[in-house]
Amino acid sequence: MLHEKLQPVFDDVLHRNPGESEFHQATYEVLESLGPVVAKRPDYVDAQILSRIVEPERQIIFRVPWVDDSSRVQINRGFRVQFNSALGPFKGGVRFHPSVYLGIVKFLGFEQIFKNSLTGLPIGGGKGGSDFDPKGRSDGEIMRFCQSFMTELSRHIGQYTDVPAGDVGVGGRELGYMFGQWKRLTNNYESGVLTGKGLTWGGSQVRKEATGYGTVYFLDEVLKARGESFEGKKVVVSGSGNVAIYAIEKVNQLGGTVIAASDSAGYVVDEDGIDLELLKDIKEVRRSRISEYVDRRAGASYASNGTTIWSVPCDIAVPCATQNELGEDDAVTLIRNGCTLIGEGANMPVTQAALRVLAESEITFAPGKAVNAGGVATSALEMQQNASRDSWTFEHTDARLNEIMRGIHSRCAETAEEYGRPGDYVTGANIAGFNRVADAMLALGVI
Ligand code: GLU
């Protein structure tokens, strides 16, 4: 149930954005938390902050033509949604995946506003992407696609305007091709226009690891608040991309054991603990399927269908694959198996129905916009280094990331407490993230 002042805002979202179910889901989840804020702050209502915040400042949709290895012309669709720039330049990644359409980009861009706000750093929210499927494409095809994508995107971005980065399907290789094309088009070595860059061309230490490490730093704070730690805990991490790999690495460093990981085709269980070097070789070097893991590691087992990874009993579940990957039945199974903490490494991996089940249980649920904010926070640190033409050590950057994640945790916990919902990280994250943006929007007038 939404507050009476918020229901019309949501009705409008449904009406103006037909068919965009992920965007509806993301807005509902935020609006659901904001009832107490609206009751307390009539000035937000008078200034129509809610109706303005759900409407992107600008949405760009463009054609991305490119030529494949068989000399065939291919056409994809590109997107950049510049959602909110009250706190700083639009900031958020670019996703290449066949599922990408406007509704996905808008849900991600909307989440990004609050996530970026929670970091306490001066970054607005935006997101982009394409329905291009990188799977099975050669390096040359990836390069030509990225160049074509950037040819159009370059008109809309800049270090003070909009700063894209990576997301699903977009890592160092793709960002390299995009930055190269940007540099060539503009004759400008403007490092701060993109983040997630390689270390030899303006990138930051720890950026690659940041989302995964930050996720585990946040969950470590949750555990500490309960008087616990990762020591001896069994952890299931879904996915095997950038977020999952570095979440696994950090769990291992903090004394936990990750016993399962997945890709879109299936999952592996390894009770001795996932062999991270092997997983990195399969996923980062060979860009292959996770099923290879069992051929190279005795005692591990593989099951096809990655979404059933939640049937593996664990203390902590960390969905790091994609949106809506953990449903109602999975939530029931996790509760039955004694799981006590779920932290979203991916963006919105837990469905609305699953959230309702979890809310009735003893499980602590930590939402993505707080948990996985370490990636974008470290992007902001990369922008800071680019602006000062400096580059920091791994240790310094990692310490900054850790400090930022601890800050996000306390901001969420204190806000939840202040609004009478102690331990409710969803309420804490949504309200703390929203208030900072709303105050900036009020100050900037009706724009
Ligand atoms: N795509 C990442 C996210 O979902 C990182 C964005 C960035 O670094 O700008 O937050």
- Report yes or no: 321 and 95 within 8 Å, Cβ to Cβ: no
For ligand 1, say whether the CB of 344 is within 6 Å of any of its atoms: no
Closest CA to 306 of 292, 287, 291: 291
| Cα-based distances in Å from 62 to 29, 100, 250 | 29, 13, 39
For ligand 1, say whether the CB of 37 is within 6 Å of any of its atoms: no
Helix, strand, coil % over all residues of the chain, rounded to 5: 50, 15, 35
Per-residue pLDDT of the chain (447 residues; tens, 9 = 90+): 899 999 999 999 999 999 999 999 999 999 999 999 999 999 999 999 999 999 999 999 999 999 999 999 999 999 999 999 999 999 999 999 999 999 999 999 999 999 999 999 999 999 999 999 999 999 999 999 999 999 999 999 999 999 999 999 999 999 999 999 999 999 999 999 999 999 999 999 999 999 999 999 999 999 999 999 999 999 999 999 999 999 999 999 999 999 999 999 999 999 999 999 999 999 999 989 999 999 999 999 999 986 789 999 999 999 999 999 999 999 999 999 999 999 999 999 999 999 999 999 999 999 999 999 999 999 999 999 999 999 999 999 999 999 999 999 999 999 999 999 999 999 999 999 999 999 999 999 999
Centroid of ligand 1 to alpha carbon of 283 (angstroms) = 20
Q: Give the pLDDT of residue 1.
A: 84
Beta strand segments in 110-264, E: 125-130, 162-165, 234-238, 257-262
* Mutation to probe ligand 1, out of 82, 211, 218 (largest number of atoms < 8 A from CB): 211
**Report field, pTM of the whole predicted structure over 0.85:** yes
Domains 56-189 and 209-371 share a fold: yes
- The residue extents of the domains of the chain are 56-189, 209-371
For ligand 1, say whether the CB of 347 is within 6 Å of any of its atoms: yes
Structure tokens, 192: 């701060």
Q: Give the pLDDT of residue 306.
A: 67
Q: How far apart are CA 29 and CA 155, in angstroms?
A: 33
Yes or no: is domain 56-189 CATH 3.40.50.10860? yes
For ligand 1, say whether the CB of 379 is within 6 Å of any of its atoms: yes
For ligand 1, say whether the CB of 195 is within 6 Å of any of its atoms: yes
Residue nearest to atom 8 of ligand 1 (CA): 376
Centroid of ligand 1 to alpha carbon of 166 (angstroms) = 6
Query: What CATH number has the domain spanning 209-371?
Result: 3.40.50.720
Closest CA to 197 of 144, 247, 159: 159
- 130 beta partners: 78, 96
Centroid of ligand 1 to alpha carbon of 298 (angstroms) = 36
Q: Give the pLDDT of residue 354.
A: 98
Closest CA to 118 of 357, 405, 360: 405
For ligand 1, say whether the CB of 167 is within 6 Å of any of its atoms: yes
Q: How far apart are CA 156 and CA 162, in angstroms?
A: 7
From the candidates 91, 106, 115, 127, which is the catalytic residue? 127
Q: Give the pLDDT of residue 183.
A: 98
Centroid of ligand 1 to alpha carbon of 115 (angstroms) = 9
Structure tokens, 34: 């904001």
Q: What are φ and ψ of residue 211, in 5° steps?
A: -65, -45
Ligand 1 atom index nearest CA of 167: 1
- Our answer to whether residue 127 is catalytic in this structure is yes
Centroid of ligand 1 to alpha carbon of 336 (angstroms) = 33
For ligand 1, say whether the CB of 343 is within 6 Å of any of its atoms: no
Ligand 1 atom index nearest CA of 94: 1
